[in-house]
Amino acid sequence: MTTALTKAVIPAAGLGTRFLPATKAMPKEMLPVVDKPAIQYVVEEAVGAGLHDVLMITGRNKAALENHFDRMYELEQTLEAKGDREKLRKVEYSTDLADMHYVRQGDPLGLGHAVLRAKMHVGREPFAVLLGDDIIDPRDPLLSRMTEVYERRDATVVALLEVPASQTHMYGVATVEETEDDDVVRITGLVEKPPQGEAPSNYAIIGRYVLKPEIFEVLEHTAPGKGGEIQLTDALLELANDESSGGVYGVVFRGRRYDTGDRLDYIKAIVQLAVEREDLGVDLRPWLREFAANLD
């Protein structure tokens, strides 16, 4: 029997340098995707998968993140006085969404280091890690499938996406073996951001993980890797090579994913999500068509 998952960890302490100057005084996770900060989509996804206990790893500029999931009395009272129930509901929704906890990373020494900061809160339980760079469409549940695979195999599980060879250098890339499940592979090798042309496959790790508490012991001795950062990928590789840990499996995600990690993909994500929205799509679609028709 495996232990049930109840906790989600969301690292949000990166410097977000690709979005400067927007991220000079604000975490990139607060950038709006249509009209919600990216981080809210991710917390909604965790809660949707039954993970109500959410630990956010924050860094400098953490105030905006904490405030977003807290009460905003002045704003609430103003909207209440105006009788604007709809806007009030939007403000209150994120406050009541999850049981939020925060810990600071201190120096941003890498994603692996950020995950290690969750050790005290998580204890000896399995947990999910969700990165704000990836928004997964709620119509294509990924985390619940990963949880199923964890429960069945008692193993670490990561989300994989098949990307074009031209993009593998931006991801952790896995060497895999097939399993009897069409959407599940066993991971036998991992390399963080391989140089172009040197990736072992097209299977890129995207920002969803189901980790066992053993990851903490590994991260404690993981040396800085690519970019001088303590890489979660390096710790996962050690677990993949350690039979006694149960190994590492990948769930191949074939659903809708919106990348908000770099500027171009962020713009695409906003357009993709906005055209599908009932309140915006009707006007946006014809405008987009006309705009595109007039492009050189």
Burial of 157 (0-12, 13-18, 19+ CB in 10 A): buried
Among 2, 3, 6, 18, binds ligand UTP (CB under 6 A): 18
Supply the minimum distance, in Å, between the C-beta of residue 59 and ligand UTP. Answer: 7
Contact region with ligand UTP (CB under 6 A), list: 15-23, 72-80, 156-164, 282-290: 15-23
Q: Does 111 bind ligand UTP (CB under 6 A)?
A: yes
Among 5, 42, 65, 131, binds ligand UTP (CB under 6 A): 131
Supply the minimum distance, in Å, between the C-beta of residue 4 and ligand UTP. Answer: 25
Supply the minimum distance, in Å, between the C-beta of residue 262 and ligand UTP. Answer: 7
Supply the minimum distance, in Å, between the C-beta of residue 39 and ligand UTP. Answer: 9
Q: Does 121 bind ligand UTP (CB under 6 A)?
A: no
Among 7, 8, 14, 149, binds ligand UTP (CB under 6 A): 14
Task: Kindly tell me which of 18 and 52 has the beta carbon lying closer to ligand UTP.
Answer: 18
Contact region with ligand UTP (CB under 6 A), list: 31-39, 129-137, 162-170, 238-246: 129-137
Cα–Cα distance, 35 to 43 (Å, whole number): 15
Q: Restricting to residues 29-88, name those near ligand UTP by CB under 6 A.
A: 57
Q: Does 26 bind ligand UTP (CB under 6 A)?
A: no
Q: Restricting to residues 189-208, name those near ligand UTP by CB under 6 A.
A: none
Task: Kindly tell me which of 59 and 126 has the beta carbon lying closer to ligand UTP.
Answer: 59
The residue nearest ligand UTP at its CB is 14
Q: Does 16 bind ligand UTP (CB under 6 A)?
A: yes
Report strand pairing: 184-192 vs 257-259.
unpaired
The residues that touch ligand UTP, with contacts defined as CB under 6 A, are 11-18, 28, 57, 105, 108-111, 113-114, 131-133, 261
